Structure 1
Amino acid sequence: MKLKLRLSNERGHADHGWLDSYHTFSFADYYDPAHMGFRSLRVINQDDIAAGAGFPTHPHRDMEIFSYILYGALAHKDSMGNGRVLEPGQIQLMSAGRGVTHSEFNPSKTDPGSLLQIWIRPREQGLKPSYTEWHPKPEHDTAAKVLVISPDGREGSATIHQDADIYRLRLKAGESTTHELAAGRGAWLQLISGSVSVNGTTVNPGDAISTEDSGTLTFTASQDAEALFFDLA
């Protein structure tokens, strides 16, 4: 399998004071024609938000948008009537469809928060907006690989309007897990913390690795590690 490594220090970066953000793909003022996305995956932003700060109400359409909380908390409100405070390890997924508005804030007055914000193109435009969440269960604490988002909501995952299976990986040092990538699909791993070897290639925090070759991917942690893994049509 041919693997392509996207290094953390090659990402776009924007420091707005209240927001310190790293962009895996072109976003806002960061433009790199070589990194416009991967299959339906369009945005991976690592956002660190200062205490009490956040994104005021703004619109989206025709995009599947989810946030994975790394530390701190995120208060979400949207025009569909949803209002939630998400905590570390939780996911909220909003299908913007034909149009929604929402806001996202760090509700703490003293502590910063951090999240991955991810956008995936839907399989069709003009869908009815919707909202779903994924919360880890106690048995997930020790699970190396957990399905968190899928097109059919199986295994308690949040539901996305795209042929995309998204997994959370959590590996103890020395632990391994595998994934079988079918022909015609693509895989993207975004490492959050720790260090992982993917078929012999080392991936460090903020790095990503991808392939469009079918076969077995083996993930082995040299340090306790956490990642999101995307299996995309």
Structure 2
Amino acid sequence: MITVRKAQDRGQANFGWLDSHHTFSFGSYYDPRHMGFSALRVINDDVVKPGAGFDTHGHKDMEIISYVLEGSIEHKDSEGNIQTLPAGEFQLMSAGRGIYHSEYNASARHDLRFLQIWIQPNVFGNKPGYQQKDFGKQNGLTPIATPNGEKGTLQIKQDASLYQLILQPGQQIDFEVTNGRNIYLHQVSGKLTVGNTELEAGDGAKVEQQTKVSMANDKQEPVTALLFDLP
């Protein structure tokens, strides 16, 4: 079963310096029908004005992934990490027993756009951690985060995996689903055909009770999406 969440149906918060679209309930946006999916709790599509950003604030016991689509993030946290996260890179911050951080648009001229993703962990109270990596733009499914950090992936504290999907025009791929697992797709750019369903940029899809997910690019532009393999 595939259940689509259209981009235009997401929640929205606009504070002037920040324009954010929420796939799931977040902040002042609340919808009891959209509280998350399995361990996936937040997907926020954030656009931050030049020079603006999130002042220092805290998190606890949450796996927080940032994926930069345009621009770059200036990151600073209470564990001593001071990093720049450019477009195309992934960051995984394990909040553990508690961490404080700030995130700013590194540019004084151009907007920053990034996806902020929260995944609930399956272990709690650990020492906070920080990971960052560029996984390139290879066609097909590229593993980004896995429970064991295998093959150079980011290690996430949950029985969940995140993949980057890139398909060129005419390409297709199948993802085999382990019995009982849940799949969530978030469309980043282009149009992706999932079974008999078409996803556009910003759309999401829950895939439940299926043994395989068939994905194809039937259009003339490349496709980028994120695939979450969840408990």
TM range (shorter): over 0.9
- Equivalences for residues 62-141 of structure 1 within 5 A: 62-136=61-135, 140-141=136-137
Aligned to 1:21: 20
Residue 130 of structure 2 aligns with an amino acid whose one-letter code is: Y
Q: Does the alignment pair 1:211 with 2:211?
A: no
Aligned to 2:161: 165
**Contact 2:105/2:112 (<8 A) preserved:** yes
Length-normalised TM-score, structure 2 = 0.97
Q: Secondary structure at the match of 2:190?
A: strand
Q: Secondary structure at the match of 2:50?
A: coil
RMSD (Å) for aligned C-alpha atoms: 0.9
**Contact 2:72/2:86 (<8 A) preserved:** yes
**How many angstroms does 1:107 deviate by?**
0.9
Aligned to 2:138: 142
**Contact 1:26/1:32 (<8 A) preserved:** yes
**How many angstroms does 1:143 deviate by?**
2.4
List, as ranges, runs of 4+ consecutive aligned residues in structure 1 with deviation greater than 2 Å. Answer: 140-143
**Contact 2:139/2:168 (<8 A) preserved:** no
Inter-partner Cα distance in structure 2 for 1:122 and 1:105: 25
Please point out which of 148, 171, 174 is paired with 1:152: 148
**Contact 2:42/2:117 (<8 A) preserved:** yes
Residue range with higher mean Cα deviation, 188-197 or 218-227: 218-227
Aligned to 2:224: 226
Q: Does the alignment pair 1:189 with 2:208?
A: no
Q: Does the alignment pair 1:202 with 2:201?
A: no
Inter-partner Cα distance in structure 1 for 2:121 and 2:137: 30
**How many angstroms does 1:124 deviate by?**
2.1
Aligned to 2:43: 44
Q: Secondary structure at the match of 2:222?
A: strand
Please point out which of 172, 175, 182 is paired with 2:171: 175
Inter-partner Cα distance in structure 1 for 2:42 and 2:17: 20
Q: Secondary structure at the match of 2:24?
A: coil
Aligned to 1:10: 9
